[in-house]
Amino acid sequence: MTSATLDYHTDSISLRVIDALADATNTDASELEPLYDVVDPEALDQLFQSGSGADVRVEFEYYGMLVEVRGDGTVTVDGTVHESR
């Protein structure tokens, strides 16, 4: 039996959003205000699960910054695209 590993930074859109916010603010991800203060991370992950095939786009404000998440996995903060790490 083979086991599958989950790479949270490519499989979890909410963690990619956190990485993008940390990059945009030049702050360690652990020092950011919790994402769940402004959006439900689990709902975001479910909405963008790979293979969902949905053409979705979600925008929300995170402490004065406009965050956009697109169906192709693109995350932008205030219009700047942030690559996943």
pLDDT digits (tens, 9 = 90+) for 65-84: 999 999 888 999 999 999 76
Predicted structure pTM score: 0.81
> Residue 3 has what pLDDT?
44
CA 55/CA 46 separation, integer angstroms: 14
In the three-class reduction of DSSP (H, G, I as helix; E, B as strand; rest coil), residue 18 is classed as helix
> Residue 1 has what pLDDT?
42
CA 10/CA 85 separation, integer angstroms: 8
Phi, psi torsion values for 19, nearest 5 degrees: -60, -40
Low-confidence residues in the chain, pLDDT < 50:
1-6, 8-9
Long-range CB contacts (< 8 A, 24+ apart) of 18-22?
Answer: 19/82, 19/84, 19/85, 20/67, 20/75, 20/76, 20/77, 20/82, 21/62, 21/65, 21/67, 21/77
Average pLDDT, the chain: 85
